[in-house]
Chains A and B, each alone.
Chain A
Amino acid sequence: MYYFYYLRARKRLIVFSSILGAIVLLNIALLPFSHVGQSDFTVGVSSHESGYSFGGIAQLHRLLQTIRIPFVILVTIAVALAAIFGTAAAASLSGQNRHLHFELTRPTSRRRLALTTFGMDAVAIAASSVVALVLLLVPFAILGSLDRLDFSPESFFVVAFGLGIAFMWYGLLQAVTVRMRGGGGAAVGISWAVFVTLSAMHNLPASIVGEPVVWIIHALNIFNPIVYLGKLFAPGYGAHVTSGPLPGSIENLITVWIIALVALAIAVVQRERMEV
C-alpha cells in the first residue's frame, strides 16, 4: 500500500506547489506595477517615517540594498503554509475507509499501514514547508537580493514550532475522522471554522460571558492550532526577532508536539480496533 500513499502524497504536494508557485509568479509579474515602501519590510517604521517610497522592480531592488530582512519571517510564512497543507492531508485515514476490504486484506498490519500513512504525510508536510520557503526565496533571487536576508538561530525554533503546529492539526483531524466513512474533507473545513471561532473568543472578558465559559474556551484553545499560529505571527514579531523573546515559548513547542503525538496514537488505536 505504501506505493499508493506515496502517489497520493506526491500528488498533493504537486498541487500545493503549483498553486503556491502560481501565486509567487503572479506577484513577480505584477512587481513592475507595484508600489513598494520600506514599511513593507520592516515592522514599526512606516514609509513616511523612513522617507522611502518606491514603485517597480528597480525601486524595490534599490530598497533591498538599504535594508536587511529577517530570514525567520520567510520561515514563519513557510511553516504556516505547511500547516495549511497538513490540513489538506489530514483526512487520509478516513479517505481509506472506502477501500478497507482492499487495504486490510494485505499482508501488513493495520498499525503499520496507519504509521506509513502518517510517515508519508509527514514527509509531504515537511517538504511543503521547504517548497514554500524556496518559492518565497525566488523573488529575492530574481532581484539579486538573497544576501540581504539575515539568518538567525531562531529560525530553527520557528521550524520546530511551526511543524509542530502543522502535525498537531493534522493529528487532531486524523483522530476525529479515522472512523468516518465519508465527510473527512468536510471535517477538515469545519475544523477551520471551529478553531478560528475559538481563537476569536479567546479574549472574551469574563465579565461578559462568565468565568466558566472563559475557562472552557481557554482549555479548548490548548488544542487550537490557530492560537499557536497566532503566536508565530504575534504583533511586533519582526522587530524583536533577533533580540527579543521567541514567538511562542518552549512550553508551547512541547505542548503542540505532545498533542500531535497523542492524537496520532489515538488514531492508530482506533484504526486497530475498527470493524469493517
Chain B
Amino acid sequence: MNAIDIAHLTKRYGTQLAVDDLSLDVADGSVCGLLGPNGAGKSTTFKCLLALAQPTSGAIAVAGAAVTPKTFDYLAYVPEMSALYENFTVAQHLEVTRRSYAAYDPARAAELAATFKLDSKKRIGKLSKGQRTAVALVLAFSIRPRVLVLDEPASGLDPILQRAVLDLIIDAAAGGAAVLFSSHQIGQVERAADTIAVMRGGRLVLRGDIDTLKGDEKVVEAIFSSDAPSVNGLASDARVRRVERNGRILRLHVRSDADGVAREIQALAPRTVDVLDLTLEDIFLGAVSDDAVPGGA
C-alpha cells in the first residue's frame, strides 16, 4: 500500500485549471521530489493532498484512507511560507505540538532544536525566514510522522542546515516514512529523492526513478568556434529526443547510440565533443521545456 495515493486529481479555480488529471503515488520508505516551475501546480497539489482545498475531481488517499483530521496524527507538513504565530515563542509552539500529538517526542524536539540552533524563548516574529522554517521542521519531525509533506523545506537555510534537512529526510525515509517534498534546488532533490515528479502547467510531465531516468539518456555536447550549425537531420533522428542550440553550444539529448551520434557531430568540425551523463537538471529542464512531450517517462 502506498502512503500517498493521488488519482486523477483535477483542481479548478473558476476557469483556471491549476492541476490537471494528476496521478502520483509515494510508497512507504521512499522520497519523492516534486519539481516544477513557479505556477506549475505544486502548491495546489499539496493543498488538495492536505485537505486545505477541495479537489474538483479525483481521489486522494493517505495510508489508504481519505484525508481527515485523524490523518494528521501521522502526517506532518511544512509549508513554504511560515504559518507560525509571530507573537508566540518557539517553546510555546512546541507546547502546542506536545498537546496535539500523542507521538510527540520531547527528546527528539530538543535534539532538533539544538541542531538548528534555535532559542526556544524567542518569539517567532523575531526569527529570520530560515529560522522559522527550522521551527516548522522541528515541529514536523518531533512527532516522528509516517508521512511528510514538505514544501521547500530548506528554504532560507544556510548550506550546513540545508544538508541537515536533507539528512533528516533521508533518515525519515530509512525509518519507513514516505516523504513528498518540493524544491527549486535540484541538487537537494537529487541528493534526497529516489523518485521525481515534474509538473508543468498543472500537468505531470515526467515521473520516474532518478537513476532510471538518468540511465535512459545521454547528452552529446559540442562546442563550436562560431555559432553552432543547425542539425535538422539529427533532430528528426529516432535516437535523438531533443536538440538545444545556444550560441556556440550544441546539445543533443540522445536515447541510444550516443557514441554514434557523437561521431556524426564530429563531422561538423566542432572544437570539442563530449558524451555526458544526464543530470537531474537536464532531466528537469528537458521535461519543462516548450518542446517536451507530456508524460514522457
Residues of A within 8 A of B (CB): 1-4, 7, 98-110, 112, 275-276
Residues of chain B within 8 A of A4, CB atoms compared: 85, 88, 92, 96
Query: Does B83 contact A99, Cβ atoms closer than 8 Å?
Result: yes
Query: Does B92 contact A106, Cβ atoms closer than 8 Å?
Result: no
Q: Which of B72-80, B153-161, B278-286 contacts A (4 or more CB under 8 A)?
A: B72-80
Q: Which of B48-56, B189-197, B222-230, B239-247 contacts A (4 or more CB under 8 A)?
A: B48-56
Which applies to chain A's interface (DSSP): helix, strand, loop or mixed? helix
> CA separation between A3 and B81, bound complex, in Å?
23
Query: Does B69 contact A276, Cβ atoms closer than 8 Å?
Result: no
Q: How far is the CB of A129 from chain B (nearest CB, A)?
A: 26
CB-nearest residue of chain B relative to A102?
B83
Query: Does A3 contact B96, Cβ atoms closer than 8 Å?
Result: yes
Q: Which residue of A98, A100, A107, A112 has the most chain B CB atoms within 10 A of its CB atom?
A: A107
- The verdict on A101 contacting B69 (CB below 8 Å), with A4-B88, A107-B100, A275-B53 known, is no
Q: B121 at the A/B interface (Cβ < 8 Å)?
A: no
Query: Does B73 contact A107, Cβ atoms closer than 8 Å?
Result: yes
Query: Does B52 contact A276, Cβ atoms closer than 8 Å?
Result: yes
> CA separation between A100 and B79, bound complex, in Å?
10
Q: Which residue of B54, B69, B88 has the most chain A CB atoms within 10 A of its CB atom?
A: B69
A interface footprint on B31-62 (CB within 8 Å = 1, 0 otherwise): 00000000000000001001111100000000
> CA separation between A110 and B77, bound complex, in Å?
17
Query: Does B52 contact A105, Cβ atoms closer than 8 Å?
Result: yes
> CA separation between A110 and B83, bound complex, in Å?
16
Query: Does A108 contact B52, Cβ atoms closer than 8 Å?
Result: no
> CA separation between A7 and B71, bound complex, in Å?
26
- The 6 A-B residue pairs with the shortest CB-CB distance, nearest first, are A101-B83, A276-B52, A102-B83, A101-B79, A107-B72, A107-B73
> CA separation between A203 and B290, bound complex, in Å?
69
Residues of chain B within 8 A of A106, CB atoms compared: 69, 72, 100
Residues of chain A within 8 A of B72, CB atoms compared: 105-107
> CA separation between A46 and B85, bound complex, in Å?
54
Query: Does A102 contact B84, Cβ atoms closer than 8 Å?
Result: yes
Query: Does A275 contact B99, Cβ atoms closer than 8 Å?
Result: no
- The verdict on A100 contacting B100 (CB below 8 Å), with A107-B69, A275-B54 known, is no
What are 10 A-to-B residue pairs whose CB atoms are below 8 Å?
Answer: A1-B100, A3-B95, A3-B99, A4-B92, A99-B83, A105-B52, A105-B75, A107-B70, A108-B69, A112-B69
